[in-house]
Amino acid sequence: MLMSIDGFAIGLLFGLKRIRISLSVIFVIAMFSGFIIFVSMGFGRLLGEIVPTHYMGSIAGVMMICLGVYNLFNEIPLYQRSYFVMIALLINVDSFGYGIQAGLAMQSFSLAPLAAFSIGFSLLFGIIYGKKTKNHFFLQYITFMPSLFFILLGISKLFI
């Protein structure tokens, strides 16, 4: 699932910075994602083909680019709770769009828990992988990595 790539990339950032995130926070982010997808699938079924859903990815892309540029010039402490809330919301702007698309395609609502598990697992895997990385390139330029990742994720959302 494409949403899981975002979760992995964000988890990787936290892992590279050696920031500890409790399993309960990961669980809450995953459950929030599942809830958003479930609700948006209902909207998708109601809206039919009236609303072009590609705007959701563009909105998420612009928000991620802005966050990356802001973080590049004003280092945001990644351990703040408000930052975790912002990450959960950014992941789920896309989830809302994917849920609407799934609703338009009349997919089963069982997709929501599957997506929640996928996002949570990829976030956790990204954190673990980031913590185990010994790559000196990553570690040398780690202060710029979160900003660049967010900018690249945002650009990918605008063009893919």
Which pLDDT score, from 0 to 100, does residue 117 have?
Answer: 92
Q: How many helices (H) and strands (E) does the chain have?
A: 7, 0
Which pLDDT score, from 0 to 100, does residue 138 have?
Answer: 62
Q: Report the C-alpha gap between 40 and 67 in whole angstroms.
A: 24
Angle between helices 81-104 and 2-16 in degrees, nearest 10: 170
- pLDDT per position as a tens digit, 30-69: 999 899 889 988 887 776 566 565 666 676 677 778 877 8
Vertex 56 angle, CA 22 and 63, to 5°: 60
The mean of the pLDDT values for the chain is 77
Q: State the DSSP string of 76-88.
A: --TT-HHHHHHHH
Which pLDDT score, from 0 to 100, does residue 70 have?
Answer: 75
Q: Which of 5-19, 102-116, 137-151 has the lowest mean pLDDT?
A: 137-151
